[in-house]
Amino acid sequence: MKSDSTYAKALEGYIQCDIHNMWDAHFPAAILATELFLEKHSVSKESEILIEKQIGAIVRSKPDLFSTVRISENDSTTSESILAKELLNDLKSFRQVEFGHHTIHAALILEALRREPDFLRTGYIRHLMSLISKYKNSIPRYWLHLEPEHRPTDFFIDKLNVFDHDMSNQEIARIVLVEVLGHGPLYQQMGSIAHTGHILAQANSLIQLDNLGYRAIRDEGLFGLEAHIILTRDSIGKSAPENSSWTPTVRAAHKWTEPEFWQQDFLKNSWNDGHVMKWGYATYELLRVADDPELKEPAEELLRHLTNPCHTAIETEETLTPH
């Protein structure tokens, strides 16, 4: 598929991730999240230019990932609905705690397909469906703290208490923002900020899916989101031992929307690179949907701790509470 659009490049990247390495998917997710952010939010012209430069830098840094995927010229056209149906079935079969990767990537992929319908071919959709399904059992491995009765491999919920299916997206967005604003202390490791950031992205993806016409997926996805929230509450107020390698987060000097933030080098830490963009997009989308001015300042302050590119300890494989 030949197209210079960010959406087409991201879809090509996602397909390559299915073929080669599913965990590289945070790169196409990053460029989609930032492009969607620019569609839906206003920033200064300087910030917009710098954000677009970051998107370009990611694409250029991964030439094999963002490369044309060839399928048969006789490949038939198809519908995005088969991808959505597969996602819904996955969610129904897996209500355990997870990072929400399948709904996060599915929502971004569906957004891109709406803008690049030429990718609605069976060869492409087959790869995209395969990639999304690979994340359905991605139970988080690292936690700052878990109560003895909370084993992620066994923990699931069959009845919602934090959420309910009659809630509006505005209510869901507000609940999630208030929830994560209570997280802390925060550390750079996956067992800390990765949970906070992914709860934001997971919640936003469910709202995205509802806005795309898939309310049933939103409602089913609330089970995994609530399970993630419940287990993450175990770490609130817990500090890592002084002799551990857990590293406190560093507050970014600038807000996510300021041009100075986007002048930084995001490619020096490949894990951080993709998540900085997804979490920022999710935060501002949830703020937009929640429509509560009192949440904006504290949410932007939290984002400074979640998306600082100077964080280098995020891939340290240490957990104080293994599962």
Radius of gyration of the chain (CA): 19
Buried b (16+ CB within 10 A) or exposed e, 158-173: eeeebbeeebebeebb
Confidence of residue 175 (pLDDT cuts 50, 70, 90): very high
Average pLDDT value for residue range 265-286: 85
Q: Name which of 44-48, 216-220, 318-322 the model is least confident about.
A: 318-322
| CA distances to 25, 46, 178, 271, 308 from 262, in Å | 21, 10, 27, 17, 11
* Residues in a beta bridge with 156: 96
pLDDT of residue 244: 84
Q: Name which of 2-16, 31-45, 306-320 the model is least confident about.
A: 306-320
d(CA 265, CA 237): 32
Q: Does 214 score more than 80 pLDDT?
A: yes
Confidence of residue 71 (pLDDT cuts 50, 70, 90): confident
Take residue 227 and report the two structure tokens written for it: 């399970």
* Residues in a beta bridge with 248: 187
pLDDT in tens, 246-264: 999 999 999 999 999 999 8
pLDDT of residue 75: 79
Crossing angle of helices 215-232 and 169-181, in 10° steps, is 20
d(CA 223, CA 285): 21
Domain boundaries, the chain: 6-133, 169-306
Take residue 68 and report the two structure tokens written for it: 């044309």
| CA torsion, ordered 322, 271, 283, 237, to nearest 10 deg | 30
pLDDT in tens, 195-210: 999 999 999 999 999 9
Number of C-beta neighbours around residue 117 at 10 A: 10
pLDDT in tens, 288-297: 999 999 999 9
Long-range pairs for 295-302: beta carbons < 8 A, 24 or more residues apart: 295/174, 295/177, 295/178, 295/181, 298/181, 299/177, 299/181, 300/255, 300/256, 301/251, 302/180, 302/181, 302/183, 302/196
End-to-end CA distance of the chain: 42
Closest CA to 251 of 314, 186, 182, 161: 186
pLDDT of residue 323: 42
